[in-house]
Structure 1
Amino acid sequence: MAAAGLTLSTAAHAQSLAVWDDLTFEGQSAVIQQLNKEFEAAHPGVTITRTARTFDDMKLTLKLAVSAGNGPVVTKVNQGAGDMGAMVKEGLLLPLDAYIAKYGWDKRQSDSVLARDRWSDTGQFGQGKTYGISGLGEMVGLYYNKKILDDAGIAVPNTFDDFVAALDALKAKGAVPFMIGTSKQHLALHMIAAISQAHIDAGKRATLDDLIYGRGGTWKTDGNVESAKLVQHWAKDGYFFPGFQGISSDDAVQLFVSGQGAFLISGTWYFGDMQHNPDIHFMPVPAPKGISKPMTVGGVDLAWAVTSLGKDQATQDLAGAYIDYMVSEKAAATWANAGYFPATALPADAKVTLTPLLSEGIAMWKTINANDALGHYPDWASPTMLKTIDDNSPHLLAGDQTPEAFVDALDGDYQAYLKGKK
């Protein structure tokens, strides 16, 4: 890898590489800035011109910027029909299969993970050419504050029934069962999806896979309705932190880190923040009895991709080398040392001091992958699914939309997408 990079840098001479990423949290930003400096040092004459955008800003601006010719050459892009799928369809992303072969990325990450960045020429998600690769692994799980549970005399739950009982007991004792904020970002989406998918055994995952990959199916299942019904109950009946409707997800996390709630459902991308409170731990959302291999929402973070603004081979090769460094074992060790969860396996000789939280995450990742239980983000299912969920979840939580109507809205979006594909 190093030799290839040095050869490229000699040919590249003075060159600027425009890169967009969504690594806006303070800890994440520090890591990517370090990695960019290391890449520049290994490629004399190359300057990384970095633009950091939040997830929501990236969704709003990326496709328009690339279409207009003033966007990045290398970018992070959300998987799924709404972003990567739409950009592939419009010819705004370049396939990376040649760089997968050149650098051996398929030896660093599993085929099932890489499949989340594949689109066929006919617009089929999960197959065909590969348009991205991610640097960080992601799982949506259950954060819990062990001190709050201990002080309330409540054990860490083993089953979903235990979990529900723990929430009831916390509320009865005057503690805040759930920290959540719904004014910005997507904690409500992650909560509903994580509960629903924890009720699916990996041996019966085909229905969920077909749904997310756009092969067909329906959102109108008992599991989705019951999950929406339970979350609505918690929101209406005082299980959530007071004023959650006016709190962003990021602010909710900071409140949780300060000890203002017993549980929070979200992803491993908050490990860098959560590690500052040693009482906070991470586990899968508990599964009901009888589900031996429960699904876990997740996969990988937004993928590194090369846009159509990489007009010549030299620029494309520089972009390929940059992405290679971002998913290298060295980069993985850098992320792990900062408390984050890399998608590329750590090298055997890596000198990494794992935080307790990251150790829990890595153990969970190994179990989930061994069980083939890595699930999906529901917004990947259609180009407009994220907006549909965001538009309807406030009404669900406020109690002015029934769980059945909420699920009907998701299914209406999906069926319209399927019809439009034909």
Structure 2
Amino acid sequence: MFTPGKALLAVLALTASLLVACGDDGGGGSANELRLWHYEGPDSAMGKAWAEAIKEFEDTHPGVTVTFEEKGFEQIQKNAQMVLNSDEAPDLMEYNKGNATAGLLSKQGLLTDMSAEVTERGWDKLLSPSLQTTCKYDERGVMGGDKWFGVPNYAEYTMVYYNADLFAQHKVEIPETFDDLVAAMDEFVAAGVTPLSVGGKEYPAQQLFYQLALSKADKQWVDDLQQYKGKVDFHDEAWTYGAETFADWVKKGYIGKDSAGIDAESMGVAFMGGKFPIMVSGSWWYGRVQSTVKDFEWGTMLFPGSDMALGSSGNIWVVPEGSENKELAYDFIDITMKKANQNLLGNSGGIPVAADPAAITDEKSKELIENYQTLVDRDGLAYYPDWPVPGYYDVLVSATQKLINGSASPDEVLDELAGPYEENLANVGG
């Protein structure tokens, strides 16, 4: 996935501590400039770690300036292909991983094959096989291939965030099982409280839908969907359960009917403002919740009743094929993979891929990383629902909104998901 909270931003954050402007604002750059795009907020774990990486890069590359441009996730998601086909492309960019995004751009020749650099710099030794899957693509643009088109320096997964004070205020037990979770939501509804903070305008709602389906699925089901290893039936037990349960949660008042128009940022802000007892979303929120929430006790848990959760490597560093300063881009990636930067990321609420475990001293950060390791140990990272098909993100947003507003039945929504998937499968020869 991807990373949230910054969706639909169209600003360029020219932050003095991170940027010294040089050259003109047009396309291209110079040998003394590294043009960097990413969409992590400054208070996020990645934002903090990468700000330090920029400082270290400029300290170790005298005369070279990092020109950092902050983009919104949605902005890059929708415009990357056009930008990378122009002279506006940066030298280094954070990008979403998966067949529909990095895979598609690699197939189109818009990303640099970094295989030789990965081996030479030893990045492959730092990343587990499960994390490497989203970095490597074949000639069809399908992940799990043999060529490296991206490198992550963090990992991510989805979980349940909860407001412990709201649970205590309403005398509701913090759930340990799926049945406990349902019972808790019933108690909140009875008290006039909508249990779940949900954003249906962007990724959060579709990820909850997928998580419900995952609770009835297995790893083969995931591999069939994501890597085209077997036939996918969108009316099987898992997909049907996911769609019907999501629709039922709306009818029962667990999910607000107004959430179809709520974006990810508003969802997170509402939870952090103490307005909802539960939010199901990703570890990318963790550092921000940790630094923002001061007036109530909160915690997290893996989604109960499921061995799998959405998750993977984090978004990946990609080097556009048109980059004029590829060596500088590789040097910056290298800094983000070093122990010092990894440790900072881990202590700031992120999930590092190459930190020193003994250096992670924050207790909540330890819990975050331990839960991630639990998922890894049981092979429970199930990627994201929009990955298999180019343009599938928008299909899923629309389909999930229909479950929220009741404009389509679960069966009709599943038909809506099946069509583009089958069409894409024919195109890639899966």
Scaled by the length of structure 2, the TM-score of the pair is 0.87
Residue 245, structure 1, aligned to residue 253, structure 2: no
**Matched residue SS, 1:49:** strand
Is the contact between residue 257 and residue 280 of structure 1 (CA under 8 Å) also seen in structure 2? no
AA in 1 matched with 2:404: L
- Structure 2: which amino acid aligns with 1:18? R
- What code does the residue aligned with 2:384 have? Y
Query: Which letter does structure 1 place at the counterpart of 2:110?
Result: L
Per-residue deviation, 1:187: 1.0
Distance 1:408 1:75 in 2: 35
Distance in 2 (CA, whole Å) between partners of 1:362 and 1:49 is: 32
What displacement does 1:117 show? 1.7
Q: Does 1:66 align with 2:84?
A: yes
The alignment partner of 1:94 has SS state of: coil
Report what 1:295 is aligned to. Answer: 308
Per the TM alignment, residue 216 of structure 1 is displaced from its structure 2 partner at its CA by 4.1
TM-superposed deviation, 1:384: 1.9
Aligned residue number for residue 320 of structure 2:
307
- How many pairs align? 395
Corresponding residue number in structure 1 for 2:212: 195
Contact 1:24 1:54 in 2 (8 A): no
Q: Which amino acid aligns with 2:118?
A: I
Q: CA deviation at 1:122?
A: 4.0
Match of residue 413 from structure 1: 420
- Alpha-carbon shift at residue 179 of structure 1 (Å): 1.3
**Deviation at residue 266 of structure 1 after TM alignment:** 0.3
Structure (1/2) with the larger helix percentage:
1
Partner of 2:105: 87
Letter paired with 2:337: V
- Quick one: structure 1 residues 199 and 345, their matched pair in 2 at CA, closer, same or farther if it must change by over 3 Å? farther
Q: Which amino acid aligns with 2:356?
A: P
Write out the 4+ residue segments of structure 1 that deviate beyond 6 Å after TM superposition: none
Following TM superposition, by how much is the alpha carbon of 1:131 offset from its aligned partner in structure 2, in angstroms? 0.8
User: Deviations 1:242-279 (Å, cap 9, x if unpaired)?
Assistant: 74334322122111112111111100000122213352
Preserved contact between residue 79 and residue 117 of structure 1 (Cα < 8 Å): yes
Q: Does 1:281 align with 2:288?
A: no
- Counterpart of 1:4 in structure 2 is none
- Aligned residue number for residue 7 of structure 2: none
Partner Cα separation in structure 2 for residue 329 and residue 65 of structure 1: 33
Closer/same/farther in 2, CA of residues 188 and 244 from structure 1, 3 Å limit? same
1:21, CA displacement in angstroms?
1.0
Equivalent residues in 2 for 1:199-278 (5 A)? 199-200=216-217, 204-218=218-232, 219-241=234-256, 243-275=258-290, 276-277=292-293
The answer as to 2:379 corresponding to 1:361 is: no
* Match in the other structure for 2:41: 24
Which AA in structure 2 matches 1:298?
G
Q: State whether residues 236 and 398 of structure 1, in contact with CA within 8 Å, keep that contact through their aligned partners in structure 2.
A: no
Distance 1:90 1:23, change over 3 A: same
Q: Indicate yes or no: 2:350 matched with 1:345.
A: no
From the superposition, tell whether residues 417 and 14 of structure 1 become closer, same or farther in structure 2 (CA, over 3 Å): closer
Q: Check 1:379–1:161 CA distance in 2 against 1; reply closer, same or farther (3 A cut).
A: same
Q: Which amino acid aligns with 1:402?
A: S
What do the CA deviations read for 1:272-327 (whole angstroms, capped 9, x no partner)? 22213352211111116xxxxx111111221001111135xxx3222211111122
> What letter is aligned with 1:213?
Q
> Given the two structures, how large is their TM-score scaled by the length of structure 1?
0.88
**Aligned CA distance change for structure 1 residues 116 and 361 (closer, same or farther; 3 Å):** same
Superposed CA RMSD: 2.0
Give the drift of 1:45. Answer: 1.8
- SS of 1:171's equivalent? helix
Q: How far did 1:241 drift? A: 4.5
Aligned to 1:75: 93
The one-letter amino acid of 2:32's match is Q
* CA–CA distance in structure 2, aligned partners of residues 404 and 237 of structure 1: 19
Counting aligned pairs with the same residue, the percent is: 26
**1:213 Cα deviation from its structure 2 partner:** 1.6
Question: Per the alignment, in what secondary structure is the counterpart of residue 68 of structure 1?
Answer: coil
Assess, with a 3 A threshold, how the Cα gap between structure 1 residues 23 and 366 changes in structure 2: closer, same or farther: same
**Inter-partner Cα distance in structure 2 for 1:209 and 1:377:** 12
Match of 1:152 in 2: 170
Q: 1:284 to 1:349 in 2, by over 3 A?
A: closer
**Is residue 172–residue 184 contact of structure 2 (8 Å, CA) maintained in 1?**
yes
| Inter-partner Cα distance in structure 2 for 1:14 and 1:77 | 23
SS, match of residue 69 in structure 2? strand
Q: Show structure 2 runs of 5+ residues with no match.
A: 1-29
Q: Identify unmatched segments of 5+ residues in structure 1.
A: 1-12, 289-293
Alpha-carbon separation, structure 2, partners of 1:214 and 1:57: 28
Counterpart in the other structure of 2:333: 323
Instruction: Determine helix, strand or coil for the equivalent of 2:133.
Output: helix
Deviations along 1:26-57, one digit per CA (max 9) or x if unpaired, are 43544422321111111112211112111110
